[in-house]
Structure 1
Amino acid sequence: MELRFFEIYRNPEYLWLLAEGVGFSAALTLAGAVLGFILACGLAVARHEQIPVLRWIAAAYVDFIRNTPLIVQLFFVAFGLPQLLGYVWPFWAHAVLALTLNFSAYFAEILRAGFQTVSEGQHDAAKALGIGRFTRFFKIVMPQSVAQMFASLNSQFIFLFLTTGVISEIGVRDLTFAGLYIDSRTFRSFEVFITLTILYILISLAFKAMMSLVEARAFRWKTAR
Structure 2
Amino acid sequence: MDFRFFEIWRSEEYVLRLIEGAGFSIALATIGGIIGFILAVGLASARYFAVPVAAQVAVVYVEFVRNTPLIVQLFFVAFGLPMLLGYAWPFWAHAALALTLNFSAYFAEILRAGLFSIAKGQIEGARALGLPTLLLYRKVIFPQAVAAVFPSLNSQFIFLFLTTGIVAEIGVPDLTNAGLYIDSRTFRSFEVFTVLTIMYVVIAVGFKVVLSLLQRRLFAWQASR
TM-score band, normalised by shorter chain = over 0.9
TM-score (norm 2): 0.99
Q: Which residue in 1 is equivalent to 2:78?
A: 78
Is 1:204 aligned to residue 204 of structure 2? yes
Q: Distance in 2 between matches of 1:88 and 1:140?
A: 43
Q: Which residue in 1 is equivalent to 2:130?
A: 130
**1:155 partner letter:** S
Deviation at 1:138, TM superposition (A): 1.1
List per-residue Cα deviations over 1:43-95 (Å, max 9, x = no partner).
Answer: 00011111111111000000000000000000000000011111111111111
Stretches of 4+ aligned residues off by more than 2 angstroms: none
**2:143 partner letter:** P
Q: Distance in 2 between matches of 1:18 and 1:150?
A: 31
List per-residue Cα deviations over 1:9-58 (Å, max 9, x = no partner).
Answer: 00000000000000000010000000000000000001111111111100
Q: Which residue in 1 is equivalent to 2:216?
A: 216
**1:166 partner letter:** I
Q: Which residue in 2 is equivalent to 1:66?
A: 66
Q: Which residue in 2 is equivalent to 1:28?
A: 28
List per-residue Cα deviations over 1:159-184 (Å, max 9, x = no partner).
Answer: 00000100011110000000000000
Q: Distance in 2 between matches of 1:51 and 1:123?
A: 19
**1:168 partner letter:** A
Q: Distance in 2 between matches of 1:32 and 1:132?
A: 33
After TM superposition, the structure 1 stretch with the greater mean CA deviation from structure 2, 119-128 or 4-13, is: 119-128
Q: Which residue in 2 is equivalent to 1:160?
A: 160
Is 1:53 aligned to residue 28 of structure 2? no
* Number of aligned residues: 225
**1:164 partner letter:** T
Q: Which residue in 1 is equivalent to 2:120?
A: 120
**1:76 partner letter:** F
Q: Distance in 2 between matches of 1:136 and 1:76?
A: 39
SS in 2 for 1:149: helix
Q: Which residue in 2 is equivalent to 1:174?
A: 174
Q: Distance in 1 between matches of 2:78 and 2:138?
A: 35
**2:190 partner letter:** F
Q: Distance in 1 between matches of 2:58 and 2:117?
A: 20
Q: Which residue in 2 is equivalent to 1:195?
A: 195
Deviation at 1:139, TM superposition (A): 1.0
**2:57 partner letter:** I
